[in-house]
Amino acid sequence: MDTERFLRVAVGIGVEELVAPVAVWLAVGVVWLIFGQQSKAGMPTRQKERKESYPGGAENQPKHLVPSFLIQPPPLPLVQAGTAAAAALLLIALALAGGRPPMAIRIFFPSSTSFSTAQPSSTATRTSRQRRGFCCFCSSTSSAGAGDEVSSSSMMTVSITGATGFVGRRLVHKLLSEDHKVCVLTRSTSKASSVFPASRYPGVTVADKEGDWERCIRDSTGVVNLAGMPISTRWSPEIKREILQSRVNVTSKVVDHINSSDSSNGNGPSVFVSATAVGYYGTSETDSFDESSPSGNDYLAHVCREWEGRARQVKQEHVRLVLIRIGVVLGKDGGALAKMIPLFMMFAGGPLGTGRQWFSWIHLDDLVDLIYESLRNPAYTGVINGTAPNPVRLSELCERLGQVVGRPSWLPVPGLAIKALLGEGATVVLDGQKVLPARATQLGFSYRYPYVRDALKAIAKQL
C-alpha cells in the first residue's frame, strides 16, 4: 500500500490535510519546550513564596479553579518526544507531497523512493486545486529524478484506437478528467458516438475514415493503440486469422501515419503506446516471466510477436515507443470478470480446469494509470509488463472472488467441457503464465491494487 493511501486508511486523512495540524503541533511543542522549561524552573520559587505567604500552611490553600496540567507544563521527556514525532511527521508529509523524499526519510523508509519517479495514480487524479496548493512544498523538498522531467501541466492530445473498448473507455475518461483532448480512432462513428455522445464528451473528436485518422494522428502529441478483436471465443482458422489481422493491420496503419507525420521536425506525436499481451511469453505452471524472458511458441505468442513487430516499425529515433504486455484486466464492465461475476452470483462459480494455472492480472485503474504515465513520462520506454506485482493461481482468484461477492467457489468447471466449448481457444482460460512487472517496479510505478483481494473488493463495491 503506498504511504498516501496508508495515511488515509490508518488516520483517515491524506498528506495535504496532515501538514497543517502537524505544523501547528510542532510549533506548540517548540514554544512549550522553551517557555515550559522556564516556567518549570521558576515554579519551585513561586510555589515556595505562595506557601510561605499563605497563613495556615499549604494544606489550607484554596484549590485552583484551573486544572493543574494547564498551569504546569507536562514532563519534559513527553514534550521532547511529542515534538520530535511532530517534526518527523512533518518531514514525511512534506517529502511525500514534494516527490522524492529527503535522505533522512529514505534511510528510515527505503520504499519511499517509489514516490520519486512515477506519481502515477493517486497523484495524477488529484484535482488541480490540490496540486496548486502544494507546489511551494514540491520545489523546496524534491531533488531530481526520472519523474521530474514530467510536465504535469502540459496539455496532451491523444489519438486512441480501440477507445470504445473496455480499457479504452476508462482511458478516455481519465484523459478528459485531467483536461487533455482525445481523438477516438474507430471503425464505426455511430458506435463511438453512442459511447461518447458529443453533448457529454465535448473534448472528444471521433474519426472513422482513413483521412480523418491521419489528420488526428498528425495533430496529436501521443497515440495509444488498443484495437484488436476479442480472443475469448471459439477459435476457428478464420477467427485465428482475424485475431491476428485485426491487431497487425490497425497497428501498421497507425505506425504509417505516425511515420509520415514528420516527427523529425517536432510535428506529430512524440510517443506511441501500443498494447500487446502476456501471451507473448507462452504458458507455464512453474516458470515466471519478466520483460527479459523469451517469447513462447504457441499461437498467442506468435500473435504478440507480430503485433509488437509492427509497432516497432515506428521511427524510434523521433518517437518514444512503449509496448505494454497486458495481463488479464480486472474491472466490473468487461474482460474476464464481467463473465465470471454473473456465474458466481448464481452460485455457479468455481475454478476452471485444475485451478492451478497462473493468473497474471491487473486492475483496470492501474492499467489506465500505467498507460497514462507512459504517455507523459519519458522514463517509460520499451517493453513494460502491464500486470500487478502479485499474480495468483486461478483457484485463489476464484476463492477471493467468492468471498467478496458472498458466494461459494465450489463448482469447478472441468477442462474437457471448456475445450469442447472453446476448442483451441480454451487455452486462454485453462493455461496461464506467472508474469512479474519488473520494469514498472523499477520505474517506481505505484499500484493502487497490488493484491487481488483489494482489487476484487473495490470492484465488488461497484456492483
Q: Is residue 207 within the footprint of ligand NAP (CB under 6 A)?
A: no
Among 277, 301, 352, 375, which residue interacts with ligand NAP (rule: CB under 6 A)? 277
CA of residue 206 relative to chain centroid, distance: 27
Q: Could you count the other beta carbons within 10 Å of the beta carbon of residue 458? A: 18
Q: Is residue 118 within the footprint of ligand NAP (CB under 6 A)?
A: no
DSSP 236: -
Q: Which of 327, 328, 324, 326 has the alpha carbon at shortest distance from 380?
A: 324
Residue 143 CB contacts under 8 Å (≥ 6 apart), including other chains: 100
Residues 137-166 that bind ligand NAP (CB under 6 A): 162, 164-166
DSSP 275: E
Minimum distance, C-beta of residue 412 to ligand NAP, in the bound complex (Å): 22
Q: Is residue 228 within the footprint of ligand NAP (CB under 6 A)?
A: yes
Applying CB under 6 A, the span of 105-113, 188-196, 371-379, 412-420 interacting with ligand NAP comes to 188-196
Exposure pattern of 156-177 as b/e (b: 16+ CB <10 Å)? bbbbbbbbbbbbbbbbbebbbe
Q: Is residue 168 within the footprint of ligand NAP (CB under 6 A)?
A: yes
Q: Report the DSSP pairing between strands 358-359 and 392-393.
A: antiparallel
Helix pair 3-11, 15-31: axis angle to 10 deg: 70
Q: Which of 382, 381, 284, 392 has the alpha carbon at shortest distance from 328?
A: 392
Closest CB to ligand NAP belongs to which residue?
165
Q: Is residue 167 within the footprint of ligand NAP (CB under 6 A)?
A: yes
d(CA 366, CA 358): 20
Q: Is residue 212 within the footprint of ligand NAP (CB under 6 A)?
A: no
Minimum distance, C-beta of residue 26 to ligand NAP, in the bound complex (Å): 48
Cell of 395: 483457484
Q: Which of 424, 429, 436 has the alpha carbon at shortest distance from 281?
A: 436
Q: Is residue 254 within the footprint of ligand NAP (CB under 6 A)?
A: no
Residue 46 or 187: the one with the smaller Cβ distance to ligand NAP is 187
Q: Is residue 37 within the footprint of ligand NAP (CB under 6 A)?
A: no
Q: Which of 390, 387, 410, 382 has the alpha carbon at shortest distance from 398?
A: 410
Q: Is residue 124 within the footprint of ligand NAP (CB under 6 A)?
A: no
Q: Is residue 192 within the footprint of ligand NAP (CB under 6 A)?
A: yes
Q: Is residue 350 within the footprint of ligand NAP (CB under 6 A)?
A: no
Minimum distance, C-beta of residue 243 to ligand NAP, in the bound complex (Å): 8
Residue 62, judged by CB atoms within 10 A of its CB (0-12, 13-18, 19+), counts as exposed
Q: How many of the chain's residues bind ligand NAP (CB under 6 A)?
A: 26
Q: Could you count the other beta carbons within 10 Å of the beta carbon of residue 76? A: 13
Minimum distance, C-beta of residue 135 to ligand NAP, in the bound complex (Å): 35
Among 131, 173, 191, 457, which residue interacts with ligand NAP (rule: CB under 6 A)? 191
Q: Is residue 335 within the footprint of ligand NAP (CB under 6 A)?
A: yes
Residue 8 or 191: the one with the smaller Cβ distance to ligand NAP is 191
Q: Is residue 326 within the footprint of ligand NAP (CB under 6 A)?
A: yes
Q: Is residue 119 within the footprint of ligand NAP (CB under 6 A)?
A: no
CA of residue 141 relative to chain centroid, distance: 24
Applying CB under 6 A, the span of 16-24, 140-148, 228-236, 259-267 interacting with ligand NAP comes to 228-236
Q: Is residue 250 within the footprint of ligand NAP (CB under 6 A)?
A: yes
Q: Which of 133, 201, 123, 139 has the alpha carbon at shortest distance from 164?
A: 201
User: Where does this chain bind ligand NAP (CB under 6 A)?
Assistant: 162, 164-168, 186-188, 191-192, 226-230, 242, 246, 250, 275, 277, 326, 328-329, 334-335
